[in-house]
Amino acid sequence: MLAMPLSETPRRAGTVSRPPACESCAARSLSICSAMQAEDLGRLASARTHQQVAAGETFLNEGDAATHFFNLVEGAVKVFKLLPDGRRQITGFLFAGDLLGLAFNESYSYSAEAITPVKLCRFPRRQLERLLDEFPRMEKRLLAMASNELAAAQEQMMLLGRKTAHERIASFLMSLARREERAGRPGEMLHLPMTRTDIADYLGITTETASRVFTSLKKRGAIELEGAGTVRLADRDALEELANGLE
């Protein structure tokens, strides 16, 4: 386990405010790196493999032996689980800088598929485990990340268990906006690389419902659409309220 997606990490005083550039794989914000010394990076780098994945390709399968973990360098990825009859639940979207497959079980508990063309850095898990033994600071960092992941997971349970379709979409959009802003980009204009079906499978609704809600929010003036992939959050306050079940 341990996939590190849109976790809403609160910037805490005392934490390294911006991880340094990770030379070894050209990722601008590989958060794990901030806990490593240059030499460690070198050691990990020696074992890493760069990998390209085409859009739509599944490069990690639920149940497979968890031999590697990944750093997503470029592109977007969906992480999901399937039921035998094909029903799908997407448990997270990952973007550049996110970590994937940091499992401590012997097999992956989810699958991962590229949404856009993807560049990733693959590390053998053993290598990481050795590093963890030697550099406890890294472990602490991972623990903090896992902690944030868990908080995000509980938030998602709240969404899936108790929110209406409108509230789910609003929550989703606000969550993306906050992520953009945490990365220093404006959060008003969003580019959605995933399809309506992906969004639906992430929010526990159907494609049709997702689409209907988007047009409904547009009619209300809460958002503007330019094609299906671009959303402008026209009334963030309204969306925020909706996301929290008010109104």
Residues that bind DNA (CB under 7 A): 164-166, 195-197, 204-212, 214-215, 225, 227-229
What is the distance between the alpha carbons of residues 10 and 71, in angstroms, rounded to a whole number?
21
Residue 234: which of its own copies, DNA, none does it interact with, CB under 5 to 8 A by kind? none
Applying CB under 8 A, the span of 47-55, 157-165, 177-185, 209-217 interacting with its own copies comes to 157-165
Residue 68, strand partner residues:
124
Q: How far is the CB of 81 from DNA (least distance, A)?
A: 17
Is 156 one of the binding residues for its own copies (CB under 8 A)?
yes
Smaller CB separation from its own copies, 100 or 119: 100
Residue 37: which of its own copies, DNA, none does it interact with, CB under 5 to 8 A by kind? none
**What token pair was written down for 181?**
């802003």
Residue 195: which of DNA, its own copies, none does it interact with, CB under 5 to 8 A by kind? DNA
Find, among 170, 187, 141, 156, the residue nearest to 239 by Cα.
170
DSSP 65: B
Type of residue numbered 34: S
Is 132 one of the binding residues for its own copies (CB under 8 A)?
yes
Q: How far is CA 232 from CA 115, 187, 239, in A?
A: 21, 9, 12
By CB under 8 A, the residues from 214 to 243 that bind its own copies are none
Is 244 one of the binding residues for its own copies (CB under 8 A)?
yes
Residue 214: which of DNA, its own copies, none does it interact with, CB under 5 to 8 A by kind? DNA
| The binder of its own copies chosen from 17, 46, 84, 186 (CB under 8 A) | 84
State the DSSP string of 5-57: -S------TTS-SSPPPBGGGTBS--GGGGGS-HHHHHHHHHH-EEEEE-TT-
State the DSSP string of 131-147: HHHH-HHHHHHHHHHHH
**What token pair was written down for 161?**
């268990």
Provide the binding-site residues for its own copies, judged by CB under 8 A: 1-3, 10, 12, 81, 83-85, 87-89, 91, 102-106, 109-110, 132-133, 136, 139-140, 142-144, 146-151, 153-158, 160-163, 201, 203-204, 244-246
